Structure 1
Amino acid sequence: MDKGKGLARRWAVELADSTGSSTSSSAAVPDPLGFTRSVHEQDDASSSRQKKDAEALWKAQKAWEVAQAPFKNLLMMGFMMWMAGSTVHLFSIGITFSALWQPVSALQNVGKVFEPYKDSRVETLAPKLLFIALNLVGLGLGFYKLNTLGLLPTHVSDWVSSLPPPPEVEFSGGNLPFH
């Protein structure tokens, strides 16, 4: 038996208004006793403002953390270059060129590094300047290591082969007396 087929269900509630649309207007329904919309809307506005302020503060802190990150790299790279020694061999050259490449690639990507922290309330100029300065110090450290290895052309004879090399300023010998 198909009892009730085609008939509306007994406990169904029709949520559509009398015009046939499925949306109801909130103005037609009165507010409950003790409820005022203006206070509720003010609370929403102040909480959203607090959330935006907290997000801006978080972004500013993260931008400063990213800006200070090259300092840790400077200490590690300086230690590695010191451990590599001052003789020219594969390990010291590899460490030196790594010390040169990392700051150069970081300086090329400054905009991308600070892109997630852009906001109208977050000032990223000072963190960017610190980031650039620390990477330039790292670049200088790499050039200093190249100079101590003797790989930088610092004398005229490095460019012109017909000129004599500079005289040696140091001489070291064993503990044998010279006669």
Structure 2
Amino acid sequence: MEKGKGVMGAGRRWAVDFTDNSTSSSSKDVPDPPGFSRASIDQEDSSLTRQKKDAESNWKSQKAWEVAQAPFKNLLMMGFMMWMAGSTVHLFSIGITFSALWQPISALQGVGKVFEPYKDSKVELLGPKLLFIALNLGGLALGVWKLNTLGLLPTHASDWVSSLPPAQEVEYSGGGVSFA
């Protein structure tokens, strides 16, 4: 090899001239080497991305169902706490009952935010949302039942006496005079 000729000599068959810095040439202008096909890479990439998207949508669907079933655990715990609180009106039982009413109400107000991370065009969220709503309504019913057992719901006529008109007198009795 002659001194100063370098790798890019005139007679080199595999030499590539990298000195062309024109911006108009792109990687598509360079021919593919023998045995290489860009189409196979694109197909592999698309199948990999499709598999990743399918796996992600399956994961989102599974997590949405887990989130939808979470109120059931809370329902069992709250039922046990209400049973332990007893049926007398005192601070602990009122606090437990208030908590049993407040948690489902606040959860029902935020159904959209709860399932926001799982929104996807391939994930059906109607079923998990309906289960979530049903379980929270069950928790709300449990709280209303506890209010009833504590006697704090107006379910008897005597609870409404103050709003009833006074009863009409039907009998009159008079002094102790008898006429025989």
Interval of TM-score (by shorter of Structure 1 and Structure 2): 0.7 to 0.9
Question: Where does 1:11-50 land on structure 2 (aligned, <5 Å)?
Answer: 17-19=20-22, 21=23, 24-50=25-51
Distance 1:118 1:35 in 2: 39
Q: Which position in structure 2 is the counterpart of 1:147?
A: 148
Q: Is the 8 A contact 1:16 1:24 kept in 2?
A: no
Q: Is the 8 A contact 1:59 1:117 kept in 2?
A: yes
Identity %: 78
Q: Which position in structure 2 is the counterpart of 1:9?
A: none
Structure 1 spans left out of the alignment, 5+ residues = 1-13, 164-179
How much does 1:156 deviate? 2.2
- Structure 2 residue identity aligned to 1:120: S
Is residue 58 of structure 1 aligned with residue 59 of structure 2? yes
Q: Which position in structure 1 is the counterpart of 2:111?
A: 110
Structure 2 spans left out of the alignment, 5+ residues = 1-16, 165-180
Q: What CA RMSD, in Å, does the superposition of the two structures yield over aligned residues?
A: 1.7
Deviation digits for residues 108-153 of structure 1, max 9, x if unmatched? 0000000000100000000000000000000000000000000001
Q: Which position in structure 2 is the counterpart of 1:120?
A: 121
TM-score (norm 1): 0.78
Distance 2:148 2:68 in 1: 28
Distance 2:139 2:19 in 1: 69
- Number of aligned residue pairs: give it: 148
Distance 1:159 1:39 in 2: 80
TM-score (norm 2): 0.78
Larger Rg: 2
Q: Which position in structure 2 is the counterpart of 1:78?
A: 79
Q: Which position in structure 1 is the counterpart of 2:137?
A: 136
Is residue 67 of structure 1 aligned with residue 68 of structure 2? yes
Runs of 4+ in 1 over 4 A off after TM superposition: none
Distance 1:72 1:42 in 2: 45
